[in-house]
Chains A and B, each alone.
Chain A
Amino acid sequence: MEESGATMRKWEDLDTDILVQIFQTFDIFELTSGIAHVCSAWRMACCDPLLWKTLDLSALESNFIRIPLEPYVYVHCQSDKEVTRLLKIALDLSRGSIQTLIFHFNLYLSDEQLTYTAERCPLVKRIVMPAWNRIKKTGICRAINMWPHLESMTMPSIANPPYLLEEISKNCKNFSKLKIMGPFDIFFASSLVLYIPKLKVLSLRCSVIFKDALITILDKLQDLEVLNISHCILIEACPSPLLKRVVKEIDPFIMDKANRLREFLVCMNDSCVMCQRARSDEGLMRWYKYEKGLWKSDEARSLAL
Protein backbone atom coordinates (compact mmCIF):
# COMPACT_ATOMS: atom_id res chain seq x y z
CA MET A 1 0.00 0.00 0.00
CA GLU A 2 1.62 3.23 -1.12
CA GLU A 3 1.43 6.46 0.82
CA SER A 4 2.03 9.04 -1.87
CA GLY A 5 0.50 12.46 -1.49
CA ALA A 6 -2.11 13.60 0.95
CA THR A 7 -4.97 12.20 -1.08
CA MET A 8 -5.37 9.26 1.29
CA ARG A 9 -5.43 11.31 4.49
CA LYS A 10 -8.51 13.17 5.56
CA TRP A 11 -7.08 16.09 7.51
CA GLU A 12 -10.51 17.61 7.91
CA ASP A 13 -11.68 14.44 9.66
CA LEU A 14 -9.09 14.53 12.41
CA ASP A 15 -10.55 14.43 15.91
CA THR A 16 -11.44 17.93 17.10
CA ASP A 17 -9.36 17.32 20.23
CA ILE A 18 -6.29 16.66 18.11
CA LEU A 19 -6.89 19.73 15.97
CA VAL A 20 -7.26 21.76 19.16
CA GLN A 21 -3.98 20.34 20.42
CA ILE A 22 -2.29 21.38 17.17
CA PHE A 23 -3.75 24.88 17.37
CA GLN A 24 -2.81 25.33 21.02
CA THR A 25 0.75 26.21 20.08
CA PHE A 26 -0.42 29.09 17.87
CA ASP A 27 -0.23 32.69 19.02
CA ILE A 28 -3.16 35.04 18.42
CA PHE A 29 -1.84 36.16 15.04
CA GLU A 30 -1.52 32.63 13.76
CA LEU A 31 -4.92 31.63 15.19
CA THR A 32 -6.65 34.46 13.39
CA SER A 33 -4.66 34.28 10.18
CA GLY A 34 -7.04 31.99 8.41
CA ILE A 35 -6.98 28.49 9.85
CA ALA A 36 -10.61 29.04 10.78
CA HIS A 37 -11.27 29.61 7.09
CA VAL A 38 -9.79 26.36 5.86
CA CYS A 39 -12.85 24.18 6.33
CA SER A 40 -15.80 23.64 8.59
CA ALA A 41 -14.09 21.12 10.88
CA TRP A 42 -11.03 23.32 11.40
CA ARG A 43 -13.27 26.29 12.12
CA MET A 44 -15.05 24.31 14.81
CA ALA A 45 -11.70 23.40 16.39
CA CYS A 46 -10.64 27.06 16.27
CA CYS A 47 -13.66 27.96 18.38
CA ASP A 48 -12.83 25.50 21.15
CA PRO A 49 -12.92 27.23 24.56
CA LEU A 50 -9.54 25.68 25.42
CA LEU A 51 -7.96 28.05 22.92
CA TRP A 52 -9.72 31.13 24.22
CA LYS A 53 -9.23 31.27 27.96
CA THR A 54 -6.86 34.15 27.39
CA LEU A 55 -6.78 36.72 24.62
CA ASP A 56 -3.19 37.89 24.68
CA LEU A 57 -2.66 40.85 22.42
CA SER A 58 0.51 41.96 24.18
CA ALA A 59 2.53 41.50 21.01
CA LEU A 60 0.37 44.09 19.26
CA GLU A 61 1.14 47.80 19.46
CA SER A 62 -0.55 50.76 17.87
CA ASN A 63 1.27 52.67 15.19
CA PHE A 64 1.10 56.07 16.81
CA ILE A 65 2.76 59.42 17.37
CA ARG A 66 2.74 61.55 20.48
CA ILE A 67 0.90 64.84 20.31
CA PRO A 68 0.90 67.75 22.77
CA LEU A 69 -2.88 67.82 23.26
CA GLU A 70 -5.31 65.27 24.67
CA PRO A 71 -5.39 62.34 24.22
CA TYR A 72 -1.65 62.79 23.72
CA VAL A 73 -1.44 60.09 21.10
CA TYR A 74 -2.56 59.93 17.52
CA VAL A 75 -3.06 56.44 16.16
CA HIS A 76 -2.67 55.93 12.43
CA CYS A 77 -5.86 54.88 10.72
CA GLN A 78 -4.44 51.71 9.21
CA SER A 79 -3.19 50.58 12.60
CA ASP A 80 -6.65 51.04 14.08
CA LYS A 81 -8.20 49.04 11.28
CA GLU A 82 -5.79 46.19 11.84
CA VAL A 83 -6.54 46.08 15.53
CA THR A 84 -10.25 46.11 14.76
CA ARG A 85 -9.91 43.31 12.27
CA LEU A 86 -7.91 41.17 14.67
CA LEU A 87 -10.38 41.82 17.47
CA LYS A 88 -13.34 40.94 15.28
CA ILE A 89 -11.93 37.61 14.21
CA ALA A 90 -10.63 36.66 17.64
CA LEU A 91 -13.81 37.63 19.47
CA ASP A 92 -15.92 35.82 16.92
CA LEU A 93 -13.95 32.59 17.32
CA SER A 94 -13.78 32.92 21.09
CA ARG A 95 -17.59 32.67 21.47
CA GLY A 96 -17.59 34.35 24.85
CA SER A 97 -15.02 32.05 26.47
CA ILE A 98 -12.38 34.67 27.15
CA GLN A 99 -11.49 35.11 30.82
CA THR A 100 -8.29 37.13 30.57
CA LEU A 101 -7.64 40.09 28.28
CA ILE A 102 -4.12 41.40 27.82
CA PHE A 103 -3.15 44.55 25.92
CA HIS A 104 0.27 46.15 25.40
CA PHE A 105 1.07 49.50 27.02
CA ASN A 106 1.38 50.97 23.54
CA LEU A 107 -1.91 49.63 22.29
CA TYR A 108 -4.27 52.56 22.40
CA LEU A 109 -7.73 51.10 22.17
CA SER A 110 -10.54 53.41 21.19
CA ASP A 111 -13.80 53.58 23.11
CA GLU A 112 -15.50 51.72 20.29
CA GLN A 113 -12.95 48.93 20.26
CA LEU A 114 -13.19 48.55 24.03
CA THR A 115 -16.99 48.39 23.98
CA TYR A 116 -16.96 45.93 21.09
CA THR A 117 -14.54 43.74 23.03
CA ALA A 118 -16.32 43.99 26.38
CA GLU A 119 -19.65 43.03 24.83
CA ARG A 120 -18.12 39.80 23.57
CA CYS A 121 -16.27 38.80 26.73
CA PRO A 122 -18.92 38.59 29.43
CA LEU A 123 -16.90 36.08 31.45
CA VAL A 124 -13.80 38.23 31.80
CA LYS A 125 -12.08 37.85 35.17
CA ARG A 126 -8.88 39.71 34.48
CA ILE A 127 -8.04 42.71 32.32
CA VAL A 128 -4.57 44.09 31.68
CA MET A 129 -4.92 47.41 29.89
CA PRO A 130 -2.16 49.91 30.66
CA ALA A 131 -3.18 52.56 28.10
CA TRP A 132 -6.44 54.47 28.45
CA ASN A 133 -5.58 57.61 26.48
CA ARG A 134 -8.40 57.22 23.98
CA ILE A 135 -10.90 55.75 26.39
CA LYS A 136 -13.50 58.02 27.92
CA LYS A 137 -15.03 57.70 31.36
CA THR A 138 -18.28 56.49 29.80
CA GLY A 139 -16.33 53.93 27.78
CA ILE A 140 -14.56 52.31 30.69
CA CYS A 141 -17.72 52.38 32.79
CA ARG A 142 -19.67 50.72 30.00
CA ALA A 143 -17.04 47.99 29.88
CA ILE A 144 -16.98 47.48 33.64
CA ASN A 145 -20.75 47.15 33.48
CA MET A 146 -20.39 44.18 31.17
CA TRP A 147 -17.88 42.37 33.38
CA PRO A 148 -19.62 41.22 36.56
CA HIS A 149 -17.00 38.52 37.11
CA LEU A 150 -14.05 40.88 37.02
CA GLU A 151 -11.49 40.07 39.73
CA SER A 152 -8.28 41.66 38.61
CA MET A 153 -7.31 44.81 36.72
CA THR A 154 -4.05 46.35 35.59
CA MET A 155 -4.55 49.99 34.70
CA PRO A 156 -2.67 53.27 34.29
CA SER A 157 -2.90 55.88 37.00
CA ILE A 158 -5.88 58.20 36.47
CA ALA A 159 -6.51 61.67 37.85
CA ASN A 160 -10.03 61.05 39.00
CA PRO A 161 -10.42 57.52 40.32
CA PRO A 162 -13.76 57.68 42.21
CA TYR A 163 -16.05 57.27 39.18
CA LEU A 164 -14.15 54.15 38.12
CA LEU A 165 -13.84 52.55 41.52
CA GLU A 166 -17.49 53.21 42.26
CA GLU A 167 -18.47 51.46 39.03
CA ILE A 168 -16.31 48.48 39.97
CA SER A 169 -17.79 48.33 43.46
CA LYS A 170 -21.31 48.32 42.01
CA ASN A 171 -20.72 45.73 39.31
CA CYS A 172 -17.80 43.51 40.25
CA LYS A 173 -18.51 41.72 43.49
CA ASN A 174 -15.40 39.55 43.27
CA PHE A 175 -12.94 42.32 42.52
CA SER A 176 -9.83 41.80 44.64
CA LYS A 177 -6.62 42.53 42.73
CA LEU A 178 -5.40 45.83 41.35
CA LYS A 179 -2.22 46.97 39.68
CA ILE A 180 -1.68 50.65 39.03
CA MET A 181 1.06 51.58 36.60
CA GLY A 182 1.60 55.17 37.60
CA PRO A 183 1.57 57.66 40.49
CA PHE A 184 -0.43 56.86 43.60
CA ASP A 185 -1.60 59.72 45.81
CA ILE A 186 -3.85 60.24 48.78
CA PHE A 187 -6.86 60.87 46.55
CA PHE A 188 -6.47 57.47 44.93
CA ALA A 189 -5.84 55.84 48.29
CA SER A 190 -8.95 57.34 49.87
CA SER A 191 -11.06 56.34 46.88
CA LEU A 192 -9.81 52.78 47.15
CA VAL A 193 -10.66 52.68 50.84
CA LEU A 194 -14.11 54.06 50.14
CA TYR A 195 -15.10 51.92 47.17
CA ILE A 196 -12.93 48.77 47.21
CA PRO A 197 -12.41 48.18 50.94
CA LYS A 198 -12.06 44.43 50.45
CA LEU A 199 -9.08 44.72 48.10
CA LYS A 200 -6.67 41.83 48.65
CA VAL A 201 -3.74 42.44 46.30
CA LEU A 202 -2.32 45.82 45.28
CA SER A 203 0.74 46.50 43.16
CA LEU A 204 2.15 49.98 42.70
CA ARG A 205 5.62 48.96 41.61
CA CYS A 206 8.01 51.32 39.79
CA SER A 207 5.91 54.42 40.41
CA VAL A 208 5.69 57.44 42.66
CA ILE A 209 3.86 56.87 45.93
CA PHE A 210 3.04 59.53 48.48
CA LYS A 211 3.73 58.51 52.03
CA ASP A 212 0.34 59.58 53.34
CA ALA A 213 -1.32 57.42 50.65
CA LEU A 214 0.77 54.45 51.70
CA ILE A 215 -0.14 54.88 55.35
CA THR A 216 -3.80 55.23 54.47
CA ILE A 217 -3.97 51.91 52.66
CA LEU A 218 -1.93 50.17 55.35
CA ASP A 219 -4.30 51.48 57.97
CA LYS A 220 -7.61 51.17 56.25
CA LEU A 221 -7.57 48.33 53.70
CA GLN A 222 -8.22 45.69 56.29
CA ASP A 223 -8.42 42.75 53.87
CA LEU A 224 -5.21 43.60 52.08
CA GLU A 225 -2.91 40.60 51.91
CA VAL A 226 -0.28 41.54 49.35
CA LEU A 227 1.19 44.98 48.78
CA ASN A 228 3.94 45.58 46.24
CA ILE A 229 5.82 48.87 46.33
CA SER A 230 9.06 47.57 44.87
CA HIS A 231 11.26 50.11 43.07
CA CYS A 232 8.90 52.95 43.97
CA ILE A 233 9.84 56.52 44.73
CA LEU A 234 8.29 57.28 48.08
CA ILE A 235 7.53 60.95 48.61
CA GLU A 236 6.74 62.74 51.81
CA ALA A 237 5.19 66.15 52.02
CA CYS A 238 7.28 68.42 54.22
CA PRO A 239 6.89 71.81 55.82
CA SER A 240 8.48 74.57 53.75
CA PRO A 241 11.02 75.42 52.43
CA LEU A 242 10.95 71.99 50.70
CA LEU A 243 7.54 70.99 49.44
CA LYS A 244 8.34 67.31 49.37
CA ARG A 245 11.25 65.01 49.78
CA VAL A 246 12.06 61.54 48.67
CA VAL A 247 12.03 58.96 51.43
CA LYS A 248 15.14 56.83 51.25
CA GLU A 249 14.03 53.93 53.34
CA ILE A 250 10.91 52.52 54.91
CA ASP A 251 10.79 53.63 58.52
CA PRO A 252 9.82 51.28 61.37
CA PHE A 253 6.47 53.04 61.73
CA ILE A 254 5.44 51.83 58.27
CA MET A 255 7.08 48.43 58.62
CA ASP A 256 5.06 47.93 61.76
CA LYS A 257 1.79 48.62 60.00
CA ALA A 258 2.80 46.34 57.15
CA ASN A 259 3.45 43.43 59.48
CA ARG A 260 -0.11 42.19 59.24
CA LEU A 261 0.23 41.72 55.48
CA ARG A 262 0.95 38.29 54.12
CA GLU A 263 3.43 39.81 51.68
CA PHE A 264 4.91 43.29 51.83
CA LEU A 265 7.10 43.58 48.73
CA VAL A 266 9.63 46.34 48.92
CA CYS A 267 12.81 47.20 47.08
CA MET A 268 14.53 50.51 47.74
CA ASN A 269 18.05 49.90 46.76
CA ASP A 270 20.45 52.25 45.03
CA SER A 271 22.19 49.34 43.41
CA CYS A 272 18.99 47.80 42.05
CA VAL A 273 18.64 48.32 38.31
CA MET A 274 14.87 48.71 38.47
CA CYS A 275 15.13 51.23 41.31
CA GLN A 276 17.69 53.20 39.32
CA ARG A 277 15.48 53.19 36.26
CA ALA A 278 12.43 54.29 38.23
CA ARG A 279 14.47 57.13 39.66
CA SER A 280 15.81 58.28 36.32
CA ASP A 281 12.33 58.05 34.78
CA GLU A 282 11.03 60.08 37.71
CA GLY A 283 8.41 57.51 38.67
CA LEU A 284 6.76 57.29 35.26
CA MET A 285 8.47 54.25 33.83
CA ARG A 286 9.27 54.50 30.17
CA TRP A 287 8.86 50.80 29.52
CA TYR A 288 9.62 51.19 25.83
CA LYS A 289 13.26 51.89 26.70
CA TYR A 290 13.79 48.57 28.40
CA GLU A 291 13.77 44.88 27.64
CA LYS A 292 10.72 43.70 25.77
CA GLY A 293 8.19 42.24 28.15
CA LEU A 294 9.82 43.74 31.23
CA TRP A 295 6.61 45.63 31.99
CA LYS A 296 4.84 42.33 32.51
CA SER A 297 6.80 41.34 35.60
CA ASP A 298 5.47 41.82 39.07
CA GLU A 299 6.79 40.66 42.40
CA ALA A 300 3.15 40.04 43.33
CA ARG A 301 2.70 36.78 41.49
CA SER A 302 -1.01 37.06 40.79
CA LEU A 303 -0.44 40.35 38.98
CA ALA A 304 2.50 39.19 36.89
CA LEU A 305 2.05 38.06 33.30
Chain B
Amino acid sequence: MSSSSSSSSSPPCPKKMITLKSSDGETFEIEEIAALQSKTLENMIDENCASTPIPLPNVKGKILAKVVEFCTKHAEAGADAETLRAWDAEFVGVEHAIVFDYILAANFLEIPTLLDLACESVAEMIKGKTPDEIRKFFNINNAFSPEEEEDVRRQNQWAFE
Protein backbone atom coordinates (compact mmCIF):
# COMPACT_ATOMS: atom_id res chain seq x y z
CA MET B 1 0.00 0.00 0.00
CA SER B 2 2.66 2.54 0.94
CA SER B 3 5.32 3.24 -1.64
CA SER B 4 7.98 4.81 0.48
CA SER B 5 11.10 5.82 -1.37
CA SER B 6 13.38 6.15 1.63
CA SER B 7 16.18 3.62 1.64
CA SER B 8 15.47 2.53 5.16
CA SER B 9 11.89 1.56 4.43
CA SER B 10 10.74 -1.99 4.82
CA PRO B 11 7.39 -3.62 4.09
CA PRO B 12 4.92 -2.90 6.91
CA CYS B 13 5.40 -5.40 9.69
CA PRO B 14 1.90 -6.78 10.40
CA LYS B 15 2.27 -6.80 14.12
CA LYS B 16 3.91 -3.41 14.43
CA MET B 17 1.62 -1.21 16.47
CA ILE B 18 1.15 2.53 16.24
CA THR B 19 -0.27 4.53 19.10
CA LEU B 20 -2.82 7.25 18.50
CA LYS B 21 -3.92 9.86 21.01
CA SER B 22 -7.37 11.43 20.83
CA SER B 23 -8.26 15.06 21.56
CA ASP B 24 -9.48 14.06 25.01
CA GLY B 25 -6.28 12.21 25.93
CA GLU B 26 -7.27 8.60 25.29
CA THR B 27 -4.71 6.39 23.59
CA PHE B 28 -5.41 3.64 21.08
CA GLU B 29 -3.19 1.04 19.52
CA ILE B 30 -3.56 0.19 15.87
CA GLU B 31 -1.64 -2.20 13.66
CA GLU B 32 0.57 -0.35 11.23
CA ILE B 33 -1.01 -2.13 8.32
CA ALA B 34 -4.44 -0.93 9.38
CA ALA B 35 -3.17 2.60 9.97
CA LEU B 36 -2.05 2.76 6.35
CA GLN B 37 -5.72 3.10 5.36
CA SER B 38 -5.30 6.69 6.46
CA LYS B 39 -3.21 8.77 4.08
CA THR B 40 -2.47 11.18 6.89
CA LEU B 41 -1.09 8.40 9.09
CA GLU B 42 0.68 6.81 6.14
CA ASN B 43 2.59 10.02 5.53
CA MET B 44 3.56 10.23 9.18
CA ILE B 45 4.72 6.64 9.23
CA ASP B 46 6.73 7.17 6.07
CA GLU B 47 8.46 10.14 7.61
CA ASN B 48 9.21 8.07 10.69
CA CYS B 49 7.19 10.27 13.00
CA ALA B 50 5.30 7.31 14.32
CA SER B 51 7.44 6.19 17.19
CA THR B 52 5.70 8.26 19.84
CA PRO B 53 1.94 8.45 20.24
CA ILE B 54 0.49 10.45 17.36
CA PRO B 55 -1.72 13.26 18.69
CA LEU B 56 -4.99 13.73 16.80
CA PRO B 57 -6.46 16.93 18.22
CA ASN B 58 -9.46 16.82 15.88
CA VAL B 59 -10.78 13.42 16.89
CA LYS B 60 -12.51 12.52 20.15
CA GLY B 61 -11.71 9.22 21.86
CA LYS B 62 -15.15 7.74 21.27
CA ILE B 63 -14.87 8.30 17.51
CA LEU B 64 -11.20 7.37 17.27
CA ALA B 65 -12.02 4.01 18.80
CA LYS B 66 -14.51 3.35 16.00
CA VAL B 67 -12.11 4.59 13.34
CA VAL B 68 -9.47 2.17 14.61
CA GLU B 69 -12.09 -0.58 14.49
CA PHE B 70 -12.97 0.34 10.89
CA CYS B 71 -9.40 0.44 9.66
CA THR B 72 -8.53 -2.80 11.40
CA LYS B 73 -11.51 -4.55 9.84
CA HIS B 74 -10.71 -3.25 6.37
CA ALA B 75 -7.07 -4.29 6.65
CA GLU B 76 -8.05 -7.88 7.39
CA ALA B 77 -6.91 -10.32 4.75
CA GLY B 78 -9.38 -12.67 3.14
CA ALA B 79 -12.59 -10.83 4.01
CA ASP B 80 -15.12 -11.40 1.23
CA ALA B 81 -16.81 -8.37 -0.27
CA GLU B 82 -20.33 -9.23 0.83
CA THR B 83 -19.48 -9.81 4.46
CA LEU B 84 -17.51 -6.58 4.51
CA ARG B 85 -20.44 -4.70 2.96
CA ALA B 86 -22.76 -6.04 5.62
CA TRP B 87 -20.28 -5.09 8.33
CA ASP B 88 -19.99 -1.59 6.82
CA ALA B 89 -23.75 -1.18 6.78
CA GLU B 90 -23.91 -2.00 10.46
CA PHE B 91 -20.99 0.31 11.17
CA VAL B 92 -22.81 3.35 9.77
CA GLY B 93 -26.21 2.33 11.03
CA VAL B 94 -25.90 4.82 13.85
CA GLU B 95 -27.26 8.23 14.81
CA HIS B 96 -26.49 10.82 12.18
CA ALA B 97 -24.55 12.89 14.69
CA ILE B 98 -22.06 10.02 14.92
CA VAL B 99 -21.93 9.68 11.13
CA PHE B 100 -21.13 13.39 11.02
CA ASP B 101 -18.20 12.74 13.34
CA TYR B 102 -17.08 9.84 11.13
CA ILE B 103 -17.09 12.19 8.15
CA LEU B 104 -14.99 14.78 9.91
CA ALA B 105 -12.55 12.14 11.17
CA ALA B 106 -12.30 10.40 7.78
CA ASN B 107 -11.74 13.75 6.10
CA PHE B 108 -9.06 14.79 8.58
CA LEU B 109 -7.32 11.41 8.51
CA GLU B 110 -7.87 11.00 4.75
CA ILE B 111 -9.52 7.58 4.86
CA PRO B 112 -11.34 7.39 1.52
CA THR B 113 -13.19 4.14 2.27
CA LEU B 114 -14.67 5.51 5.48
CA LEU B 115 -15.47 8.88 3.92
CA ASP B 116 -17.27 7.21 1.01
CA LEU B 117 -19.22 4.97 3.34
CA ALA B 118 -20.26 7.80 5.65
CA CYS B 119 -21.21 10.09 2.76
CA GLU B 120 -23.32 7.37 1.16
CA SER B 121 -25.13 6.80 4.40
CA VAL B 122 -25.86 10.52 4.76
CA ALA B 123 -27.11 10.58 1.18
CA GLU B 124 -29.59 7.85 2.09
CA MET B 125 -30.76 9.88 5.06
CA ILE B 126 -31.39 12.88 2.83
CA LYS B 127 -33.16 11.13 -0.05
CA GLY B 128 -36.89 11.42 -0.06
CA LYS B 129 -37.11 14.23 2.46
CA THR B 130 -38.49 17.69 1.79
CA PRO B 131 -36.25 20.67 2.58
CA ASP B 132 -38.24 21.24 5.75
CA GLU B 133 -37.84 17.64 6.86
CA ILE B 134 -34.12 17.81 6.09
CA ARG B 135 -33.73 20.93 8.18
CA LYS B 136 -35.57 19.39 11.11
CA PHE B 137 -33.66 16.13 10.85
CA PHE B 138 -30.23 17.74 10.72
CA ASN B 139 -31.19 20.77 12.79
CA ILE B 140 -30.09 23.20 10.12
CA ASN B 141 -30.78 26.86 10.32
CA ASN B 142 -32.39 28.07 7.12
CA ALA B 143 -30.45 31.23 6.50
CA PHE B 144 -30.91 32.42 2.94
CA SER B 145 -30.05 35.86 1.64
CA PRO B 146 -32.99 37.83 0.15
CA GLU B 147 -31.62 37.15 -3.38
CA GLU B 148 -31.55 33.43 -2.72
CA GLU B 149 -35.08 33.48 -1.32
CA GLU B 150 -36.15 35.16 -4.53
CA ASP B 151 -34.39 32.45 -6.59
CA VAL B 152 -36.23 29.75 -4.69
CA ARG B 153 -39.55 31.48 -5.15
CA ARG B 154 -38.95 31.92 -8.87
CA GLN B 155 -38.13 28.30 -9.37
CA ASN B 156 -41.44 27.22 -8.02
CA GLN B 157 -43.35 29.03 -10.69
CA TRP B 158 -44.87 26.74 -13.24
CA ALA B 159 -44.76 28.81 -16.40
CA PHE B 160 -41.92 30.54 -18.16
CA GLU B 161 -41.42 34.16 -17.29
Residues of A within 8 A of B (CB): 1, 3-9, 11-12, 14-15, 18, 21-23, 25-26, 30, 33-35, 37-40, 42-43, 81, 84-85, 88-89, 92, 112, 116
Contact A23 B143 (CB under 8 A): no
Contact B141 A23 (CB under 8 A): no
Contact B155 A92 (CB under 8 A): yes
Residues of B within 8 A of A (CB): 24, 60, 62, 95-98, 100-101, 103, 107, 115-116, 119-120, 122-123, 126-127, 130-131, 134-135, 137-145, 148, 151-152, 155-156, 158-160
Count of A-B residue pairs with CB < 8 Å? 95
Contact A84 B158 (CB under 8 A): yes
Q: Which residues of A contact B126 (CB under 8 A)?
A: 22, 30, 35
Q: Which residues of A contact B144 (CB under 8 A)?
A: 39-40, 43
- Pick 16 A–B contacts, CB within 8 A, sort by A: A3-B95, A6-B139, A9-B96, A9-B101, A11-B100, A11-B140, A18-B119, A22-B122, A26-B127, A34-B130, A39-B144, A40-B145, A43-B144, A84-B159, A89-B155, A92-B155
Q: Which residues of B contact A26 (CB under 8 A)?
A: 123, 127
Contact A43 B120 (CB under 8 A): no
A38, B140: Cα distance in complex, Å: 8
List of 4 A-B pairs having minimum Cβ-Cβ separation, nearest first: A34-B131, A11-B138, A6-B139, A37-B131
- What DSSP secondary structure best describes chain B's contact surface? helix
Interface residue from B96, B134, B148 paired with A35 (Cβ < 8 Å): B134
Interface residue from B95, B103, B116, B131 paired with A38 (Cβ < 8 Å): B131
A48 nearest CB across to chain B (Å):
14
A26-B123, A84-B160 are known; give 16 further A-B pairs, CB within 8 A.
A1-B62, A6-B137, A9-B97, A9-B138, A11-B139, A15-B107, A18-B107, A21-B115, A34-B131, A35-B126, A35-B134, A38-B134, A38-B140, A40-B145, A42-B140, A43-B144
